[in-house]
């Protein structure tokens, strides 16, 4: 929680500016104290006003110049893939940073000494700064770049942590929604009623349906915590769900699978297909007396896995006004967390007038257990 709060605070611009001002002020005061004590020890004391004014002026110039340094560090991070080019950029940046500081400081010292008996000329102040501070200024530049990199890595780590927590939350919500669907009184009543009716007609079929309901509930409760699973495992869960629905609807529900063999080992988000198929049954099959068809297709297209769920219902007009119910809204949010802009979830009119839900995600093969 502390890391999360820190990341959120650092995203506020005024917090960053206040933190930077505080840090630079504390550094300036620390060096002012050192100057005061050293000069007193050498028998050439200076006033606190002189020590503080001089050092705050020095470090506030550093503070101003740190802004372009942070920009360079953010846009040209030193990475293994292109470190030669980046190093040249930062070497040039360090030289410019040091020279700019000396120019600013010389101009400031010349301005501050205008009322003195012997004012310091700009040329003299710059020459003194060039000899005394060029290397020190360069070290300050590299210190700023190092801090920017460290802070950037920290923020990325925290963002990944927050992202992982969000994914876990979405997966948990998907499990709970799947379990809620299975324990929904209407769904459970219809399933038990179908089992009861089958008991008088076909005991073996009723027993199989009861076993499928048990398997479905057990899978939802014991489902893996993995964000992605092979498509074949996702289809195992979906098959249990569809067997129960087919027992309920009988000949009114036909399910067709067109799964490319290579796609069976591709990774898909865990529990991603059930809400899509449930949506097709609820809006495309259940409201109509005529036979309904639900087709599930999976195929590889270049570096993308395309999944499609199509029904022969009423099409887009049967969906919610926003196009996504609770289950599908959670599906869209999970996809955004998992793949960012590398996915596409769209709802279209199907070829037979029903609804076509098309999902495209990056093609990634599941790891084979050794």
Let me know: does 68 contact 96? Beta carbons within 8 Å: no
Whole-number pLDDT of residue 325? 56
Whole-number pLDDT of residue 352? 77
Look-up of token digits 């988000």 = 269
Q: How many CB atoms lie within 10 A of CB 35?
A: 17
Whole-number pLDDT of residue 221? 67
Residues in contact with 269: Cβ distance below 8 Å, sequence separation at least 6, in sequence order: 227, 228, 334, 335, 338, 361
Residues in the chain: 370
In this structure, what DSSP letter does residue 252 have? G
pTM of the model: 0.51
How far is residue 152's CA from residue 158's CA, in Å, rounded to a whole number? 10
Pairing of strands 304-311, 292-301: antiparallel
Query: What Rg, from alpha-carbon coordinates, does the chain have?
Result: 34
Element (H, E) at 22: helix 13-41
How far is residue 345's CA from residue 332's CA, in Å, rounded to a whole number? 7
How far is residue 262's CA from residue 361's CA, in Å, rounded to a whole number? 15
How far is residue 184's CA from residue 190's CA, in Å, rounded to a whole number? 10
**Among candidates 245, 247, 246, which has minimal Cα distance to 206?**
247
Look-up of token digits 């006004």 = 321
Find out if CATH 3.40.630.10 is the number for domain 252-370. no
Phi first, then psi: give them for residue 254, nearest 5 degrees.
-115, 135
Phi first, then psi: give them for residue 324, nearest 5 degrees.
-140, 130
How far is residue 328's CA from residue 233's CA, in Å, rounded to a whole number? 20
Whole-number pLDDT of residue 179? 47
Please spell the DSSP secondary structure of 292-345, one letter per residue: EEEEEEEEEETTEEEEEEEESSSGGGGS-TTS--HHHHHHHHHHHHHHGGG-EE
Strand order in the sheet with 355-362: 253-259, 292-301, 304-311, 355-362, 344-349
How far is residue 230's CA from residue 270's CA, in Å, rounded to a whole number? 9
Residues of the chain with CATH 3.30.565.10: 252-370
Exposed (0-12), middle (13-18) or buried (19+): which is 2, by Cβ within 10 Å?
A: exposed
Averages of pLDDT over each 10 residues, the chain, 370 residues: 51 72 87 86 84 84 86 80 81 88 82 75 81 84 87 79 76 59 56 79 83 77 72 90 82 92 92 85 82 93 94 73 58 80 90 88 77
Whole-number pLDDT of residue 177? 59
Contacts for 197-202: CB closer than 8 Å, 24+ residues apart: 198/247
How far is residue 90's CA from residue 96's CA, in Å, rounded to a whole number? 10
Whole-number pLDDT of residue 326? 55
Please spell the DSSP secondary structure of 135-199, one letter per residue: HHHHHHHHHHHHHHHHHHHHHHHHHHHHHHHHHHHHHHHHHHHHHHHHH-HHHHHHHHHHHHHHH
**Among candidates 233, 245, 244, 235, which has minimal Cα distance to 369?**
233
Q: How many CB atoms lie within 10 A of CB 243?
A: 18
Whole-number pLDDT of residue 49? 86
Whole-number pLDDT of residue 186? 54
């Amino acid at each position: 929680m502390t890391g999360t709060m820190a990341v959120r605070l650092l995203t506020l611009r005024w917090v960053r500016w206040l933190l930077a001002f505080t840090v630079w002020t504390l550094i300036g005061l620390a060096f002012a104290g050192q100057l005061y004590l050293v000069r007193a020890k050498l028998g050439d004391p200076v006033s606190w006003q002189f020590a503080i004014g001089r050092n705050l002026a020095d470090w506030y110039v550093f503070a101003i110049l740190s802004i372009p340094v942070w920009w360079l560090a953010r846009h040209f991070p030193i990475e293994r893939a292109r470190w030669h080019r980046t190093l040249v950029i930062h070497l040039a940046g360090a030289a410019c940073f040091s020279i700019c500081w000396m120019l600013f400081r010389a101009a400031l010292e010349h301005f501050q000494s205008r009322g003195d008996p012997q004012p310091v000329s700009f040329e003299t102040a710059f020459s003194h700064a060039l000899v005394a501070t060029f290397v020190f200024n360069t070290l300050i530049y590299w210190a700023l770049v190092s801090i920017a990199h460290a802070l950037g890595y920290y923020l990325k780590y925290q963002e990944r942590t927050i992202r992982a927590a969000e994914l876990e939350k979405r997966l948990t919500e998907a499990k709970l929604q799947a379990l809620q669907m299975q324990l929904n009184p209407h769904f459970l009543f219809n399933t038990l009623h179908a089992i009861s009716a089958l008991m008088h007609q076909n005991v073996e079929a009723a027993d199989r349906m009861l076993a499928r309901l048990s398997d479905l509930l057990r899978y939802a409760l014991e489902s893996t915590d993995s964000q992605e699973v092979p498509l074949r495992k996702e289809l195992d869960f979906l098959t249990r769900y569809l067997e129960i629905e087919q027992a309920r609807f009988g000949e009114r529900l036909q399910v067709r699978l067109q799964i490319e063999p290579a796609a069976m080992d591709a990774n898909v988000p865990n529990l991603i297909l059930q809400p899509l198929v449930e949506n097709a049954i609820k809006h495309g099959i259940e409201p109509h007396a005529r036979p309904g068809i639900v087709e599930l297709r999976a195929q590889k297209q270049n570096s993308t896995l395309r999944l499609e769920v199509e029904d022969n219902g009423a099409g887009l007009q049967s969906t919610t006004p926003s196009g996504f119910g609770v289950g599908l809204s959670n599906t869209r949010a999970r996809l955004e967390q998992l793949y960012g802009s590398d996915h596409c979830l769209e709802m279209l009119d199907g070829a037979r007038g029903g609804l076509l839900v098309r999902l495209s995600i990056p093609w990634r093969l599941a790891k084979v257990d050794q």
